[in-house]
Chains A and B, each alone.
Chain A
Amino acid sequence: QKEVEQDPGPLSVPEGAIVSLNCTYSNSAFQYFMWYRQYSRKGPELLMYTYSSGNKEDGRFTAQVDKSSKYISLFIRDSQPSDSATYLCAMSPNSGGYQKVTFGTGTKLQVIP
């Protein structure tokens, strides 16, 4: 079993829809949770970064962490065609510094105009 599981999609939604992207994980040591967006033929870019459980909002993006269920989500409100990309979740343990980072395989999102 992989430490981080993510549905590869593809996920197609109409413009303006609310998108929900999810990951599950098995390692209880994970404390930092990240979401990345990767456009085709580009490097990933960090979208959201959260520590431990709870919600974090940044514009149209909301990251949610439920440590009791080992489940994280990224919500995109009012989705736009420019949001079409692959979204990767990532996690790392808390050691007071940086440690190994484990990624999900990514979900490909297409927002249809």
Chain B
Amino acid sequence: EAQVTQNPRYLITVTGKKLTVTCSQNMNHEYMSWYRQDPGLGLRQIYYSMNVEVTDKGDVPEGYKVSRKEKRNFPLILESPSPNQTSLYFCASSFRRGGQETQYFGPGTRLLVL
């Protein structure tokens, strides 16, 4: 079954305690991306990756890091989380060929930073 998995699904942490949210896809997609979703602001892209070792900033990259060492995994790292990073986070992977796009989103990770 084609899927994007994220872990953990829910996380409560404290300011400054480093955390990693994992994202994994089983479809061999080249493109992966991280988003955060906040009420009234919609989805905003944090980072994206066009392939292994190729990453770039989205609209709201401050306070986040990513790495893409393997095609299937794209972890999101918060080195020193702050309360304004409390949000719902989604990972996605995509495949685009011949004018058609296939895309899958993960189930989301709800993060609360105290």
Contacts and interface: CB of A to CB of B under 8 A. Distances in A.
Contacts of A59: none
A100 B90 contact: no
Interface stretch (A12-20, A60-68, A72-80, A102-110): A102-110
B81 interface: no
User: Could you say which interface size class chain B belongs to?
Assistant: 20 to 34
B106 A100 contact: no
Given A98-B31, A105-B40, A51 B48 contact: no
A56 to B, nearest CB: 10
Contact of B108 (A8, A43, A51, A104): A43
B80 interface: no
A112 interface: no
Given A103-B43, A105-B41, A43 B50 contact: no
A13 to B, nearest CB: 22
B105 A45 contact: yes
Given A51-B99, A101-B33, A88 B45 contact: no
Secondary structure at the A interface, as helix, strand, loop or mixed, is: loop
A90 B35 CA distance: 13
Contacts of A43: 90, 92, 105-108
Interface string B71-108: 00000000000000000001010101001111101111
Interface of A: 6, 8, 34, 42-46, 49, 51, 88, 90, 97-106
23 contacts: A6-B42, A34-B101, A43-B106, A43-B107, A43-B108, A44-B43, A44-B90, A44-B105, A49-B100, A88-B42, A88-B43, A98-B30, A98-B48, A98-B94, A99-B56, A100-B56, A100-B59, A101-B45, A101-B58, A102-B45, A103-B35, A103-B44, A103-B45
Interface of B: 30-31, 33, 35, 40-45, 48, 50, 56, 58-59, 90, 92, 94, 96, 99-103, 105-108
